[in-house]
Amino acid sequence: MSLFVQQSEFADPIPFEFVERAEPHAGPGEVRVRVSAAGLNPVDWKIAISPAMAEMFGVSLPNAGFGNDFSGVVDEVGEGVEGFAVGDRVFGGLRGFAVAEHIVLPVSDGGENPVHTPDGLDDVRAAALEVAGHTADAVVAATALGKGDTVLIGGAAGGVGVLAVQLALAAGATVIATASESNHEFLRELGAVPTTYGNGLVDRVRALAPQGVDAAIDLQGTETVEAAIELGVSPARIAAIAAHELPDGVIATGGRNATAGSLERIAQGLADGSFVLPIAATFPVAQLADAVALQRGGHVRGKVVVTL
Ligand SMILES: NC(=O)c1ccc[n+]([C@@H]2O[C@H](COP(=O)([O-])OP(=O)(O)OC[C@H]3O[C@@H](n4cnc5c(N)ncnc54)[C@H](OP(=O)(O)O)[C@@H]3O)[C@@H](O)[C@H]2O)c1
């Protein structure tokens, strides 16, 4: 038998049910993973409490699970699968099913899911990469950052933000990063110039970047988008991932637009120490509700991860 966190309805508080189910098995073209860790994202709880969000992301009753990001070890390989063997360490995403002892997923053609976990990267960090890594890569690609650019990144200390800041710096950009003051020293250590979000943002950025701002990335609504427009940034170099409506020309993007090989590159950067990914907290799966509550509070630095 195998532990599976199930939902019989999409509701708030989230009605998690911890059930023992028969072990699933890998069919042709699939691998089974013994999950060791599952990273949380805001979209997980948004899906869990909203039938409309669940439908939008293809998560359906009666057998809905919870979570997306996972890491673990391949323990069954289906017919026809190449490139994966029992015992391989992997990480990736499986929408609506990651918080389970065993998951089965198709091996994608492009080799993007699952991805082999490089030596030197622990399962907790690997479990936090699929959504945040893809999305951080997508926003940096959308804004075409390069040497000489100054970019304003709003919401820079969260799961997507910490990776986006580092990818932007690696691309050669100067990064002005918004966060609460408690995160400023951390962002400074990464190499960014921190400032607070909220009233007066435009003036603070003008003072920090008298040379001007070339691009902007908004990871939390539209405050950064609006500030960037006021600062004269071209909408074609402003990207956002969490806004309902955007001014004309601003790029709405997300993990789906990540460039090929992005997860592998980020994982390798974490393994060799050129990138860091803070883990705000880990929780045993029995405390999933506490883990989700912390994530949902909206002020974690980096990621929250559940272990199985
Ligand atoms: N479109 C996509 O594909 C996609 C993919 C991933 C995420 N998203 C969405 O993007 C958003 C961010 O995702 P995430 O995983 O990075 O979330 P997260 O890890 O929960 O973000 C937490 C961070 O948000 C910051 N924050 C809170 N309120 C803020 C505000 N008013 N202005 C600026 N920053 C603020 C906090 O900073 P302080 O603690 O410093 O205050 C904290 O570090 C979520 O809404 C998520 O659903 C979209």
Assess whether the C-beta atom of 153 lies below 6 angstroms from ligand 1. no
CA of 147 to the centre of ligand 1 (A): 26
| DSSP character at residue 293 | H
CA of 84 to the centre of ligand 1 (A): 34
Could you tell me how far CA 202 lies from the centroid of its own chain? Answer: 27
Backbone angles phi, psi at 81, to 5 degrees: -80, 130
pLDDT tens profile 90-128: 999 999 999 999 999 999 867 789 999 999 999 999 999
pLDDT at 109: 66
Confirm whether pTM is higher than 0.85: yes
Cβ–Cβ contacts within 10 Å for residue 60, how many?
12
Alpha-carbon gap, residue 212 to 174, rounded angstroms = 11
Question: Considering all CA atoms of the chain, what is the largest pairwise distance in Å, rounded to the nearest integer?
Answer: 62
User: Which atom in ligand 1 lies closest to the alpha carbon of residue 303?
Assistant: 19
Alpha-carbon gap, residue 219 to 230, rounded angstroms = 18
CA of 26 to the centre of ligand 1 (A): 35
Domains in the chain with CATH codes: 2-129+277-307 (3.90.180.10), 133-257 (3.90.180.10)
Instruction: List, for the chain, all residue ranges whose pLDDT scores fall below the cut of 50.
Output: none
Instruction: Give the angle subtended at the CA of 175 by the CAs of 260 and 199, to the nearest 5°.
Output: 120
Nearest alpha carbon to residue 115 among 139, 135, 88, 80: 88
Provide the H-helix boundaries in 113-257: 123-126, 130-142, 159-170, 184-190, 201-208, 223-230
Which residues lie below 8 Å from residue 258, measured CB to CB, with a gap of 6+? 133, 134, 135, 137, 138, 141
Are 242 and 262 in contact by the 8 Å Cβ rule? The answer is no
Are 285 and 308 in contact by the 8 Å Cβ rule? The answer is yes
Are 126 and 37 in contact by the 8 Å Cβ rule? The answer is yes
CA of 41 to the centre of ligand 1 (A): 9
**Which of the listed residues 160, 185, 225 should we mutate to test ligand 1's pocket, taking the one with most ligand atoms within 8 A of CB?**
160
**Which of the listed residues 299, 303, 305 should we mutate to test ligand 1's pocket, taking the one with most ligand atoms within 8 A of CB?**
299
Residue 220: both structure tokens together:
């939390």
Provide the H-helix boundaries in 96-154: 123-126, 130-142
Which residues lie below 8 Å from residue 115, measured CB to CB, with a gap of 6+? 90, 91, 92, 263, 264, 267
Residue 82: both structure tokens together:
């190449």
